DNA sequence: CCGGATGTTCACCT
DNA sequence: GAGGTGAACATCCG
């Protein structure tokens, strides 16, 4: 999906609907409805939106009835009253084909909320269980991060991407954070010493804060070099390109150890 | 034409 | 159990 930063932008626009009453639910694509009987979505009609929450990449719309959970896959976008906080994702067109509107709400007071997802990798569900996810990466403390990594032989990057253990990081953010922290993504997750853990936590917090300001996961310093022949923005060394945790990984062999 | 892309889930390995 | 791989989803881009 969009990673945690983009979902946070989505949550902020979704917040505009707080106080409105759902007049109609549009779910033209049953496949997009997860772990929920599509017919059950009708119970949302007449419910009032009371708030929004986010855990990792899961957006939750609270109502005085069920909670509506929204997931965005890699190419999902949220539109509220036709306003999009993100016009265009890296690998998704800025177009809005009618068949890409996978789910939507119409409000009694006017206005609408739409989930547009060309690749159909996202989904919606009623009463999602946020505790299936690990702690949210935006607020995790140093001790929490230590616990996420402790005892694991998995590659550091794979562990940080495991949403059941730490919710929110995606492929771009994790590469950016590890590059800034000077840590090799292939290191065993449980093998960091206390000073490395502190460094990782510091760069995790700083990178998220900085990129939230700058406009999202694709605004990192490494982003422009995520290609074959890419070079480390800091030292010019050709970047290493590997598959770690099942995802294409770029790292600097010189200063990521 | 082909490979790969901000993700998740599942089956199937070791 | 812990990890890894590959497939599936559907579209765009280089």
Per-residue pLDDT reduced to its tens digit, A140-187: 999 999 999 999 999 999 999 999 999 999 999 999 999 999 999 999
Cβ atoms of A88 and A131 closer than 8 Å: no
For nucleotide C3, the protein residue with its alpha carbon nearest to C1' is: A154
Does the structure show a pLDDT above 60 at A209?
A: yes
Predicted local confidence at residue A249, as pLDDT: 95
For residue A223, what is the enclosing H or E element?
Answer: none
Could you tell me if A162 and A178 lie in one domain? yes
Is the CB of residue A31 inside 7 Å of nucleic acid strand B?
no
Structure tokens at A13: 């626009």
Residue A256 resides in a domain: no
Residue A257 resides in a domain: no
What is the pLDDT averaged over residues A188-195?
A: 96
For nucleotide B4, the protein residue with its alpha carbon nearest to C1' is: A248
Could you tell me if A146 and A68 lie in one domain? no
Could you tell me if A127 and A8 lie in one domain? yes
Predicted local confidence at residue A95, as pLDDT: 79
Q: How far is CA A112 from CA A14, A22, A43, A156, A194, in A?
A: 10, 9, 17, 41, 49
Residue A62 resides in a domain: yes
What range defines the domain where residue A38 resides?
A: 4-131
Residue A55 resides in a domain: yes
Predicted local confidence at residue A91, as pLDDT: 46
Is the CB of residue A85 inside 7 Å of nucleic acid strand B?
no
| Nearest Cα residue to A41 out of A115, A92, A118, A95 | A115
Could you tell me if A22 and A126 lie in one domain? yes
Question: pLDDT by residue (tens digit) across A103-149?
Answer: 999 999 999 999 999 999 999 999 999 999 999 999 999 999 999 99
Predicted local confidence at residue A171, as pLDDT: 95
pTM of the model: 0.95
Task: Specify the CATH number for the domain of residue A8.
Answer: 3.20.190.10
Residue A33: strand pairing partners: A124
Question: pLDDT by residue (tens digit) across A40-93?
Answer: 999 999 999 999 999 999 999 999 999 999 999 999 999 999 888 765 554 455
A94: nt with nearest C1' to CA: C12
Predicted local confidence at residue A93, as pLDDT: 55
Could you tell me if A10 and A34 lie in one domain? yes
User: Which are the catalytic amino acids of A?
Assistant: 2-3, 57, 247
Could you tell me if A38 and A117 lie in one domain? yes
């Amino acid at each position: 999906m969009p990673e945690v930063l983009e979902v946070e932008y989505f949550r902020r626009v979704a917040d505009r609907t707080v106080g409105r009453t759902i007049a109609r639910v549009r779910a033209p694509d049953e496949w997009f409805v997860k772990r929920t009987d599509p017919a059950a979505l009708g119970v949302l009609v007449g419910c009032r939106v009371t708030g929004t929450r986010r855990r990792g990449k899961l957006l939750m719309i609270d109502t005085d009835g069920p909670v509506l959970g929204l997931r965005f896959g890699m190419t999902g976008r949220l539109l509220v009253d036709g306003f999009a906080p993100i016009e265009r994702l890296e690998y998704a067109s800025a177009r809005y084909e009618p068949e890409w509107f996978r789910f939507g709400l119409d409000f009694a007071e006017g206005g609408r909320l739409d989930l547009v997802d060309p690749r159909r990798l996202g989904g919606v569900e009623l009463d999602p269980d946020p505790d299936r996810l690990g702690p949210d990466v935006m607020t995790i403390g140093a001790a929490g991060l230590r616990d996420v990594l402790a005892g694991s032989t998995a590659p550091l990057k794979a562990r940080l991407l495991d949403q059941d253990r730490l919710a929110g990081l995606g492929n771009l953010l994790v590469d950016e954070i590890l590059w800034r922290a000077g840590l090799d993504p292939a290191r065993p997750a449980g093998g960091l010493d206390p000073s490395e853990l502190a460094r990782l936590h510091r760069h995790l917090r700083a990178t998220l804060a900085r990129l939230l300001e700058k406009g999202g996961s694709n605004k990192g310093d490494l982003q422009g070099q995520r290609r074959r022949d890419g070079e480390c923005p800091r030292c010019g060394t050709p970047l290493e390109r590997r598959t770690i945790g099942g995802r294409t990984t770029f790292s600097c062999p010189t200063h990521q150890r």
